[in-house]
Amino acid sequence: MSWTYRLKPELFDLNYTLDCGQVFRWGQEGDWWTGVVGDHVIRLSQDQDRLIVDSKLSPEFLTRYFRLDDNLPSIYESINRDLLIDRAIHKYRGLRLIRQDPWECLISYMLSTASSIPTIQKRIFLLSQFFGQELEPGYFSFPTSETLANADLAELDKCKLGFRTQNVKAAAQAAASGELDLDVLIRLEYKYARERLMRLRGVGEKVADCVLLFAFEKMEAFPVDTHIRQIIQHYHIDDSYFETCTNMSCMGDWGREYFGQYCGYAQEYLYYQKRMEGFLSLY
DNA sequence: CGCCAGGGCCCCA
DNA sequence: TGGGGCCATGGC
């Protein structure tokens, strides 16, 4: 039941795409990645130009999920502004943003605040284990907003969400009641969608930008987390701007102006490069 | 023990 | 308006 999806290896790299920190529900064992997407447990492996798919999925599903419809060379050209990003897009060529489910993405990044990636992964696993449906042994769907809206706080606390517990429940109640309509949100411009998301407790500029970038088609979102802040401060990428740019909000504005309409892609490459290799000496 | 991790919120000058 | 303290949790 496994089949092969042919692609150009320089235009897609499965390992970079799933390892770069944008998704939290994939695990790697040997050459194979296993993850839960919607109600599917998916197993994937890449060998050069062959993406081996051990799941009942359509090519269209994979095209959509992995944004294979994005013109990567064109995006590279538009964001390639300096040596640092040039190195990142060559070294990590084929890394693509993923189209995530809006609801799962929102909660996932609400759970990401001031936490390491393994901790975030653990919270999402526990949340799915306690409140999702078991799809196959050990793999659970992400809980619906209705389920989380009705969960009591003591049960939610078992998922080790810390101070985020109340915020998650409140967001779930907003989504379940229709007060927060993610289907409407997706049609709004970046600025207005961002303002709406930030009205949720526990969603600031960074979390909103992650959700907009990874689930709402807003390639112009530029999430400024601790790594991006350190990169901007360390390299002084743009001296003229750097003088007056010290806080997170300003750094987001800077990223949007500097890298342009696909700055979200630039952000992901810089973020992954920094996480993998730390600071680099480029000269 | 302290510090940091894909932060956000509240308070206060 | 912006900077510091605080918020749970886990890893080092």
Tell me the C-alpha distance between A19 and A272, whole Å: 9
Residue A236: strand, helix, or coil:
coil
Q: Each residue of A241-271: pLDDT tens digit?
A: 776 777 888 999 999 999 999 999 999 999 9
C1' of B13 to CA of A77 (Å): 47
Q: Which nucleotides of C are covered by protein (CB under 7 A)?
A: 2-3, 7-11
Look at residue A176 and tell me if it is in a domain: yes
Question: Which among A168, A193, A216 is the end of a domain?
Answer: A216
Residue type, A175: A
This prediction's pTM = 0.97
Domain of residue A16: give its range: 4-69
Closest to A114 in 3D by CA, of A162, A82, A153: A162
Q: What is the CATH number of the domain that holds A177?
A: 1.10.340.30
Q: What's the pLDDT tens digit per position in A190-230?
A: 999 999 999 999 999 999 999 999 999 999 999 999 999 99
- A212 CA, C11 C1': Å apart: 29
Query: Residue A216 has which token pair?
Result: 């709402």
pLDDT of residue A79: 98
- Do A153 and A223 fall into the same domain? no
A110 and A149 part of one domain: yes
With CA of A203 and C1' of each nucleotide, the nearest comes out as: B8
Would you say residue A53 has pLDDT above 80?
yes
Any domain includes A204:
yes
What is the identity of the amino acid at A215?
A: A
Contacts of A159 (CB under 8 A, 6+ apart): A123, A126, A127, A130, A165
Residue A74 in this model has a pLDDT that exceeds 90: yes
| Nucleotide nearest residue A115, measured CA to C1' | B5
Burial class (CB in 10 A: 0-12, 13-18, 19+), A130: middle
Percent of chain A with pLDDT strictly greater than 70: 99
**Nearest nucleotide, CA A116 to C1':** B5
| Residue closest to sugar C1' of C2 by CA | A247
Evaluate if residue A239 carries a pLDDT over 80.
no
Q: Do both A244 and A108 map to the same domain?
A: no
Query: What local confidence, expressed as pLDDT, does residue A241 receive?
Result: 73
